[in-house]
C-alpha cells in the first residue's frame, strides 16, 4: 500500500511539473579556508534536494542559479566540514551571500587508515576486504558514524553485502568481476587523491550507471581538480600496520593547460595488531590532464597499490582459551627463530584510465573513459602431503579431541609450553622435506623418464586470482531549462580472470608432485584418476610452476542506462533504468583425471539479460523538512564465482542457476536546520533467487564437497536514524541508531557434489528460513560529543553499542537427510552484545604558508577484548562429537590508535 501511495505521489509531482514554472534568482559569494583564509576552488554548492547548482572557481568565487524563496544551500568539499547556509533568494535578483568559511578536517577523520581489514568469515579464502562505508563518509551523521564508528565492527549499512554497491574510478567500475565486491585494498594508501567522490548511500543517482541498492561511489581523479601544493602525511598505528607515509603533489592547472597530480604512499609494519601480520605496501598514483580548450579536456590516470601482508586468522574459542589470547593467530610460526606467516596476501594490479571531458555547451557534458585493469593478486597457504595437517589449531591437536582428562591436560601442556606445537613449525617442514627421497616414474607422462630427489611434503602455495579487464563507457548529461536533467550512457566490459595455484616455496625440498591427493586416497589403483592434469601426468613442479588447478573465467557485458531528474522548488523526482547483457564462461587449462570430459577447454556460455527500474525523490515541506523516498526493482546476473558448480575442477554450470531479483523501497524524513540536522529512514529490501557455491572438506565422505545453494531469498528491513545538534557553534552532540532485521527468507535448494567424482550426492533442502544474515551487527547504536574550537583544535568522544551479531551457519547440519529429516538441525549461534568507547582529538596550525595538523584517534579506550564481531560455524561436522568443530570467531581489537601528522603547503 505504501508503495502505491508513493507512486501516486510521484505521478502527481510529474503532472505538476509541467504546470508550475518556478521563478529563480541568483546567489553569489566567496569561499575561503577558515584557517588560512585562502580562497577555495571546487567547492560544490547544492540545494537542499542535493541537486548541484555549481562549484566555486579558482578564486573561490561562485555564482549559482537557485529557486526563489528561502533556500538551504550546502557547501561541500573533500577534507572540509560541510556548511549549510540559509539564503533568501529574490526572483530575478542576485543575492550576495558574502564570505563563507570552511573548516578543514585534515587529520581528523579523513586521513584515517583502513577501517575494515578483517578477513572474511568464510572458509573459501577469497580476498575479502571490503570497501564498506569507507568512501561514504559524508556530511550525513548516520553514514559518517556508520563508516568510522561502526565500520571497524564489520557493520554493513542496511545489512547489504558489499557487492550491492558500485564503486567507479573515473567511470571504470572497480568492483571485482568474480565476486562483485569493490576491494578497498586495490587503491589503499591513496587516501589523499581518492576524496573527490560523489557518494550515494542508496539508489539515489550520482549520475553514473544504475546505482544499486547499496549505493554508488563515483571517484573522480581529474588532475586539475586537486588543490595545488604538496601534502605529506605520517601516521602511526597499532592496527593493520604501524607506519604510513603519504606524499601528494598537485600542480593545479598550469598556464600551459596541463595539470599533474601524483601521490605515493608507503605503509609498513613488522606486525600489526596480531602477531605475524607484517605489512609492506607501496601505492602509486599519477594523474595528468591536458585541457585543450574550454570544451575539451583529456585526463590520464594510473594507479596501483602493491602490497604483501601477513594475515591473521580466526580460531575456535577453545584455541583462544588455550592460548589465553582472543587475538591468537594460527597462521604464523617460527622459522630459524623468526616469525613467518603462512598466509600472505599480495596484490599488484595497475589501473589505467583515459578520460575525455567534453562540454559542448553550458548545459551539456559528455564524459568518455577507456580503461584497462590488469595484474595479479595472490593468497598463500600451506599445502602438504603424507603428513598430519600442520596447522596448530587442527582439531586432532586440540585437547577436546581426547575424551580422557589426563590426555587433555597433557595436550594442553605441550600446546601451552611449546611454540612448535601452538604455532606453525617451519623448521620441521624443512627438516622433513630435505630428507624425503623419492623417485617419480614416467615424469610428465614421458615413458621411462625418472625424476629423483627430495619430494616436498610441505609447501607454501600461492592461490592466484589474476585479472585482465578492459572497460569502455560514455555518459552524456544534459540540462533542460534549469530543472530537468537527463543523463545516460553505455558501458561495456571484457574480463578475463585467471585462477591457478603456483608453488611459492618448496621449503627445502626439490620438487612437488602434482597429483590430486584426495582422489589418490579414494582411488589408489587408478593412476589416471588422481592426475590433476592428464595432459602432463605425474608432473614434478618447482617454485613458480603452476599446479593443482588452472582455469580462466570470462565475462563480457554491456549496459545501457539512463536517469531523468526533475527538480522544482518544492520537490525533486528521479526515474532511472538500465538493461544489461552478460555472458560468462570458463576455460579449463588442465585436464583433470576425474573429469577428463569436461575439465579441459571451454565451457558452455551462460548468458543473461537483466534490467532494472527505479524512481524516487523528495518533497520539501520547507527548506528544513523533507521527506525522501526510493523504489527499486532490478534483476542481476549471477556472479561468475557462483555460476559454476566447482570452477576449480570442471566446466559444469550450477544446476538451477537463476538471475537474482531485488525489490527495495525506503522512506525517510530529513531535518535540516542550521543547528539540528537529522534523518530517519525506514527501508525494506527483498533479494530473491540468489545462488551461492561453497567448497569444503567433508569429514564423513572424506573428500572436498561443493555445496551449491540456489533459490536463496533474503529480506533486509529496519530503521536508521541519525541526529546532530549544535548546542553552541563549537559543541555538537550526535546520536545514531541502526535497527534492522536481515534474514534468510527461504529454504534454498541444495545440490551437493564431490570434487572427486561426478555423482550428485544429494538434492535436498536447507532449512534456514528466518535465520539471520551473518557478519554485521543488526543493531548498532552510538552517541557522541564533539567540540570543534574556533582556535583550531577539536576533541570528541563516541560510545557505541552492538547487538544481534550472528555467526554464519553451516548448511550441512541444516540439510535434510535421505530419510527426510533434519537430524542435526540446531538454531543459529549468536555473539554477545558489546560496548565500545572511541576518543579523538586534534589540532592544526597555520605557520606562514604551512598548514600543520596532528590528530589522534583512539578506539576502544576501555580496552574491551571480549567482543566478537563475527565468525562462522565450521563446515566440518561430526555428529558423534560436535565439540570437535566449534565455530571460528573473530574479536574486535582491544585498545587501538591511529595518530596522524600532516603538513600541507
Site of interaction with other proteins (CB under 8 A)? 58, 228-230, 232, 245, 247, 249, 251-252, 254-255, 262, 264-266, 268-270, 278-280, 282, 308, 310, 335-336, 338-341, 344, 385-388, 396, 402-404, 406-407, 410, 426-428, 430-432, 434-439, 457, 505, 507-508, 521, 523-525
Query: Smallest distance, Å, CB 462 to other proteins?
Result: 12
Q: Any bridge partners for residue 451, and if so which? A: 440
Query: Smallest distance, Å, CB 188 to other proteins?
Result: 15
C-beta closer to other proteins: residue 211 or 510: 510
Rg over alpha carbons for the chain, rounded to the nearest Å, is 29
C-beta closer to other proteins: residue 228 or 474: 228
Q: How far apart are CA 117 and CA 239, in angstroms?
A: 9
Contact 882, 874 (CB under 8 A): no
C-beta closer to other proteins: residue 158 or 463: 463
Burial 426-455 (b: 16+ CB within 10 A, else e): beebbebbeebebebeebbeeeeeebeebb
C-beta closer to other proteins: residue 409 or 730: 409
C-beta closer to other proteins: residue 111 or 211: 111
C-beta closer to other proteins: residue 118 or 433: 433
Which H or E run includes 14? helix 2-19
Q: How far apart are CA 273 and CA 894, in angstroms?
A: 9
Q: How far apart are CA 806 and CA 778, in angstroms?
A: 8
Q: How far apart are CA 574 and CA 204, in angstroms?
A: 8
C-beta closer to other proteins: residue 255 or 819: 255
Query: Smallest distance, Å, CB 255 to other proteins?
Result: 5
Which H or E run includes 479? strand 458-480
DSSP E strands, 416-457: 424-425, 437-440, 451-454
Query: Smallest distance, Å, CB 269 to other proteins?
Result: 7
Q: How far apart are CA 208 and CA 146, in angstroms?
A: 24
C-beta closer to other proteins: residue 117 or 339: 339
Which H or E run includes 573? strand 571-588
Query: Smallest distance, Å, CB 567 to other proteins?
Result: 33
C-beta closer to other proteins: residue 109 or 282: 282
Q: Any bridge partners for residue 595, and if so which? A: none
Query: Smallest distance, Å, CB 173 to other proteins?
Result: 30
Query: Smallest distance, Å, CB 254 to other proteins?
Result: 5
Q: β-strand 424-425 against 332-335: which pairing, if any?
A: parallel
Q: How far apart are CA 224 and CA 42, in angstroms?
A: 10
Query: Smallest distance, Å, CB 417 to other proteins?
Result: 15
**Residues 6+ positions from 63 with CB-CB distance below 8 Å:** 26, 27, 28, 54, 94
Query: Smallest distance, Å, CB 403 to other proteins?
Result: 6
What are the Cα distances from residue 46, in Å, to 17, 366, 667? 20, 21, 22
C-beta closer to other proteins: residue 4 or 406: 406
Q: How far apart are CA 814 and CA 486, in angstroms?
A: 49
Query: Smallest distance, Å, CB 428 to other proteins?
Result: 7
Which H or E run includes 643? helix 640-643
What are the Cα distances from residue 533, in Å, to 453, 465, 503, 695? 22, 19, 16, 20
3-class state of residue 519 by DSSP: helix
What are the Cα distances from residue 773, in Å, to 236, 713, 808, 809, 852? 35, 11, 7, 9, 44
What are the Cα distances from residue 874, in Å, to 15, 51, 256? 57, 49, 62
C-beta closer to other proteins: residue 381 or 629: 381
* Sole residue written with cell 536447507: 766
Query: Smallest distance, Å, CB 349 to other proteins?
Result: 19
Instruction: Bin 457: left if φ > 0, else alpha if -120 < ψ < 50, else beta.
Output: alpha
C-beta closer to other proteins: residue 49 or 277: 277
Query: Smallest distance, Å, CB 268 to other proteins?
Result: 5
C-beta closer to other proteins: residue 390 or 871: 390
Query: Smallest distance, Å, CB 843 to other proteins?
Result: 24
C-beta closer to other proteins: residue 261 or 798: 261
Q: How far apart are CA 135 and CA 706, in angstroms?
A: 35
* Sole residue written with cell 534490467: 611
Query: Smallest distance, Å, CB 407 to other proteins?
Result: 5
DSSP 8-state code for residue 94: E
Amino acid at each position: 500500500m505504501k508503495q502505491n501511495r508513493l507512486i501516486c505521489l510521484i505521478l502527481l509531482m510529474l503532472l505538476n511539473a509541467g504546470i508550475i514554472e518556478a521563478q529563480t534568482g541568483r546567489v553569489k559569494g566567496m569561499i575561503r579556508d577558515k584557517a588560512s583564509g585562502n580562497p577555495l576552488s571546487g567547492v560544490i554548492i547544492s540545494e537542499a534536494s542535493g541537486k548541484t547548482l555549481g562549484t566555486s572557481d579558482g578564486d573561490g568565487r561562485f555564482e549559482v542559479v537557485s529557486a526563489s524563496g528561502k533556500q538551504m544551500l550546502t557547501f561541500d568539499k573533500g577534507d572540509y566540514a560541510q556548511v549549510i547556509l540559509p539564503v533568501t533568494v529574490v526572483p530575478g535578483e542576485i543575492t550576495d551571500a558574502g564570505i563563507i568559511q570552511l573548516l578543514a578536517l585534515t587529520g581528523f577523520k579523513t586521513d584515517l587508515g583502513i577501517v575494515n581489514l578483517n578477513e572474511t568469515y568464510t572458509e573459501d579464502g577469497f580476498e575479502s576486504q571490503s570497501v564498506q562505508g569507507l568512501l561514504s563518509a559524508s556530511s550525513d551523521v548516520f553514514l559518517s558514524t556508520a563508516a568510522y564508528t561502526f565500520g571497524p565492527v564489520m557493520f554493513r549499512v542496511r545489512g547489504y553485502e558489499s557487492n550491492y554497491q558500485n564503486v567507479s574510478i573515473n567511470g571504470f567500475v572497480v568492483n571485482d568481476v568474480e565476486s562483485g565486491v569493490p576491494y578497498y585494498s586495490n587503491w589503499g594508501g591513496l587516501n589523499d587523491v581518492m576524496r573527490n567522490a560523489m557518494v550515494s548511500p542508496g539508489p539515489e543517482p550520482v549520475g553514473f550507471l544504475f546505482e544499486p541498492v547499496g549505493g554508488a561511489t563515483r571517484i573522480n581523479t581529474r588532475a586539475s581538480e586537486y588543490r595545488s601544493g604538496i601534502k605529506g602525511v605520517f601516521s602511526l598505528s597499532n592496527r593493520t600496520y604501524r607506519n604510513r607515509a603519504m606524499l601528494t603533489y598537485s600542480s593545479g592547472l598550469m598556464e600551459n593547460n596541463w595539470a599533474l597530480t601524483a601521490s605515493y604512499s608507503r605503509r609498513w609494519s613488522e606486525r600489526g595488531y596480531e602477531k605475524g601480520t607484517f605489512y609492506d605496501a607501496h601505492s602509486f598514483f599519477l594523474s595528468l590532464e591536458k585541457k585543450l580548450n574550454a570544451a575539451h579536456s583529456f585526463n590520464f590516470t594510473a594507479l596501483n597499490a602493491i602490497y604483501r601482508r601477513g594475515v591473521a586468522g580466526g580460531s575456535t574459542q577453545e584455541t583462544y582459551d588455550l592460548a589465553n589470547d582472543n587475538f591468537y593467530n594460527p597462521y604464523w610460526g617460527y622459522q630459524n627463530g623468526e616469525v613467518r606467516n603462512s598466509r600472505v596476501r599480495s596484490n599488484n594490479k595497475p589501473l589505467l584510465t583515459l578520460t575525455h571531458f567534453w562540454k559542448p555547451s553550458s548545459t551539456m557534458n559528455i564524459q568518455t573513459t577507456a580503461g584497462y585493469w590488469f595484474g595479479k593478486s595472490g593468497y598463500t597457504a600451506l599445502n602438504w602431503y603424507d603428513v598430519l595437517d600442520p596447522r596448530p589449531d587442527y582439531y586432532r591437536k586440540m585437547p577436546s579431541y581426547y575424551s580422557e582428562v589426563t590426555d587433555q591436560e597433557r595436550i594442553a601442556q605441550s600446546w601451552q609450553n611449546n611454540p612448535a606445537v601452538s604455532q606453525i613449525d617451519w623448521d620441521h617442514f624443512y627438516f622433513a622435506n630435505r630428507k624425503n627421497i623419492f623417485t617419480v616414474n614416467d615424469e610428465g607422462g614421458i615413458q621411462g623418464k625418472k625424476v629423483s630427489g627430495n619430494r616436498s611434503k610441505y609447501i607454501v602455495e600461492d592461490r592466484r586470482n589474476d585479472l585482465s579487464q578492459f572497460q569502455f563507457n560514455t555518459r552524456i548529461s544534459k540540462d533542460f531549462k534549469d530543472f530537468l536533467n537527463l543523463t545516460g550512457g553505455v558501458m561495456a566490459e571484457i574480463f578475463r580472470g585467471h585462477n591457478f595455484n603456483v608453488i611459492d616455496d618448496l621449503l627445502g625440498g626439490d620438487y612437488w608432485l602434482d597429483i590430486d591427493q584426495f582422489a589418490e586416497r579414494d582411488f589408489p589403483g587408478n593412476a589416471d584418476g588422481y592426475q590433476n592434469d592428464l595432459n602432463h601426468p605425474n608432473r614434478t613442479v618447482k617454485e613458480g610452476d603452476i599446479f593443482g588447478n588452472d582455469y580462466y573465467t570470462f565475462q563480457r557485458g554491456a549496459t545501457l542506462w539512463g536517469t531523468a531528474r526533475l527538480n522544482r522548488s518544492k520537490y525533486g523526482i528521479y526515474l532511472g533504468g538500465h538493461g544489461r547483457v552478460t555472458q560468462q564462461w570458463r576455460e579449463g587449462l588442465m585436464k583433470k583425471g576425474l573429469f577428463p570430459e569436461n575439465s579441459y577447454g571451454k565451457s558452455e556460455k551462460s548468458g543473461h539479460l537483466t534490467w532494472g527500474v527505479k524512481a524516487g525523490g523528495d518533497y520539501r515541506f520547507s527548506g528544513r523538512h523533507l521527506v525522501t523516498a526510493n523504489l527499486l526493482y532490478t534483476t542481476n546476473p549471477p556472479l561468475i564465482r557462483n555460476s559454476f558448480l566447482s570452477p576449480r575442477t570442471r566446466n559444469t554450470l550450477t544446476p538451477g542457476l537463476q538471475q537474482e531479483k531485488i525489490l527495495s523501497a525506503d522512506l525517510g524524513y530529513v531535518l535540516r536546520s542550521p543547528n539540528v540536522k537529522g534523518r530517519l529512514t525506514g527501508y525494506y529490501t527483498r533479494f530473491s533467487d540468489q545462488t551461492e557455491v561453497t567448497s569444503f572438506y567433508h569429514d564423513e565422505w572424506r573428500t572436498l564437497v561443493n555445496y551449491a545453494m540456489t533459490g536463496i531469498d533474503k529480506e533486509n528491513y529496519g530503521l536508521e536514524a541519525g541526529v546532530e545538534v549544535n548546542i553552541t557553534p563549537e559543541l555538537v552532540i550526535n546520536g545514531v541508531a541502526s535497527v534492522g532485521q536481515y534474514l534468510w527468507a527461504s529454504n534454498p535448494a541444495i545440490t551437493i557434489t564431490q570434487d572427486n567424482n561426478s555423482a550428485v550426492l544429494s538434492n535436498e533442502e536447507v532449512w534456514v528460513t528466518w535465520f539471520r544474515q551473518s557478519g554485521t551487527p543488526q543493531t548498532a547504536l552510538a552517541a557522541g560529543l564533539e567540540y570543534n574550537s574556533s582556535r583550531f583544535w577539536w576533541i570528541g568522544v563516541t560510545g557505541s553499542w552492538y547487538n544481534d551479531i550472528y555467526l554464519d551457519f553451516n548448511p550441512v547440519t541444516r540439510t535434510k537427510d535421505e530419510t527426510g529429516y533434519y537430524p542435526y538441525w540446531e538454531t543459529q549461534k549468536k555473539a554477545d552484545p558489546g560496548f565500545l568507547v572511541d576518543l579523538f582529538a586534534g589540532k592544526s596550525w597555520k605557520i606562514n604558508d604551512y598548514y600543520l595538523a596532528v590528530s589522534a584517534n583512539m578506539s576502544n579506550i576501555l580496552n574491551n577484548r571480549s567482543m566478537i564481531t563475527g565468525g562462522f560455524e565450521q563446515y566440518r561436522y561430526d555428529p558423534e562429537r560436535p565439540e570437535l568443530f566449534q565455530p571460528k570467531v573473530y574479536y574486535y581489537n582491544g585498545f587501538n590508535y591511529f595518530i596522524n601528522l600532516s603538513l600541507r603547503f
